[in-house]
Structure 1
Amino acid sequence: MAYWFWVFIFYSLVGCFLERVYARRTTGDPHPVRRCLLFLPLCPVYGLGAMAVLALPASMREGLWLPVAGAAAATAVEFLYHWACEAMLGVKFWDYSHVRGNLQGRVCILFSLAWGALASMALLLIHPTLEAIIARIPPLLTFLALLVFTADAVCTLRVLSVTHSVAALRGKA
């Protein structure tokens, strides 16, 4: 179980970094509206997407299947995550309705292709090293990190359920 927790944390952190770089490059805003769920610098859709890719059968995590299956798995997670946030919290973290090839503004072909590329890079270049690092993390550190994450998630979910505003995560509701 600790393995999956750290996979989620690592890829959520990397996702937050990617989101910030992308937002700065496309909008020029040094402090764009957060597209992450948590106050911590984590973007859970990336962590959940990575977990979905890792849960694929081994035969789909190699060769030409990897970018295709990775894109499909991560896109499914992205759609469900968006739907759940909208249905349960009344917030939309992104809207692709202006992008060609979108499905209900929740997912689009362009970013599905990006998911496939990210899945391939992660599994081939990053994940073998990450697995070795995770194997050396002491249980006490995992427990403490889980406590911090849980406290943050509870606070964040409360803020979003009351404000229904992503901007509230930056104190601008």
Structure 2
Amino acid sequence: MAYWFWVFLFYSLAGCFLERAYAHRATGEEHPVRRCLLFLPLCPVYGLGVMAVLALPVSMRQGLWLPIAGAVVTTVVEFLYHWACEAWLGVKFWDYSGVPGNLQGRVCVPFSLAWGALTAVALWLIQPPLETLIARIPPVVTYLMLLVFTADVVCSVRILSVTHSVTALRGQT
């Protein structure tokens, strides 16, 4: 169980940094707005996406199947994550309505292709050393991080469920 928790945290953190870099590059803003659920620098959709790909049968995670399966599975995760945030919390963290090939503004073809490439890079290059690192994390560190993460989720979800505002989560008016 600790393994999955650390995989989720690592890729959520990496996703947050990737989002910031992409937003900075695309918009030119010095401090682009984070589009994620938590106070911590984590974008859970990335962690959930990689976890879903890792849960696939090994045969679907090998060779050219990986980017294809990665694109499909992570796009489904992205769609469901967006739908859940909108349905349960009343917030939208992104909107692809203006992007060609979008589905209800929740997912789009260009980002689905990017997901495929990202999952291939993650599983081929990052995952093997990450697994070695995760195996060395003491249980007490896992429990402490789980406590911090749980507190973050409870506070973030409470704020969003009351305000339905991403700006309220960021402490903006």
2:170 and 2:29 map into 1 onto residues whose CA distance is 14
What residue identity is the alignment partner of 1:82? H
Alpha-carbon distance between aligned partners in 2 of 1:47 and 1:165, rounded to the nearest angstrom: 23
Q: Which amino acid aligns with 2:118?
A: L
Greater mean deviation of Cα atoms: 24-33 or 108-117? 24-33
Distance 1:28 1:158 in 2: 32
Structure 1 residues 42-57: aligned runs within 5 Å: 42-57=42-57
TM-score normalized by structure 2? 0.98
> What CA distance in whole angstroms lies between the structure 2 residues aligned with 1:171 and 1:32?
15
Question: How far is the alpha carbon of 1:162 from its aligned partner?
Answer: 1.1
Residues 20-99 of structure 1: matches in 2 within 5 Å?
20-99=20-99
CA distance in 1, matches of 2:46, 2:87: 20
Compute the displacement of 1:29 (Å): 1.5
Residue equivalent to 2:123: 123
C-alpha displacement of 1:169 = 2.3
**Structure 2 unaligned regions, length at least 5:** none
Contact 1:33 1:166 in 2 (8 A): no
1:33/1:167 contact within 8 Å kept: no
Deviation at 1:166, TM superposition (A): 1.1
Q: Residue by residue, what CA displacement relative to the aligned partner does 1:26-69 show, whole Å, maximum 9, x if unpaired?
A: 11112222201100000000000000010011000011100000
| Identity value in percent | 77
Query: Which stretches of structure 1, 4 residues or longer, exceed 6 Å deviation after superposition?
Result: none
Which residue number in structure 2 is paired with residue 133 of structure 1?
A: 133
The count of corresponding residues between Structure 1 and Structure 2 is 173
Unpaired stretches in structure 1, ≥5 consecutive residues: none
Q: Is the 8 A contact 1:159 1:168 kept in 2?
A: yes
SS of residue matched to 2:71: helix
1:143 equivalent in structure 2? 143
Q: Distance in 2 between matches of 1:6 and 1:48?
A: 12
Query: 1:171 — aligned with what?
Result: 171
Distance (whole Å) between structure 2 residues aligned to residue 70 and residue 138 of structure 1:
30
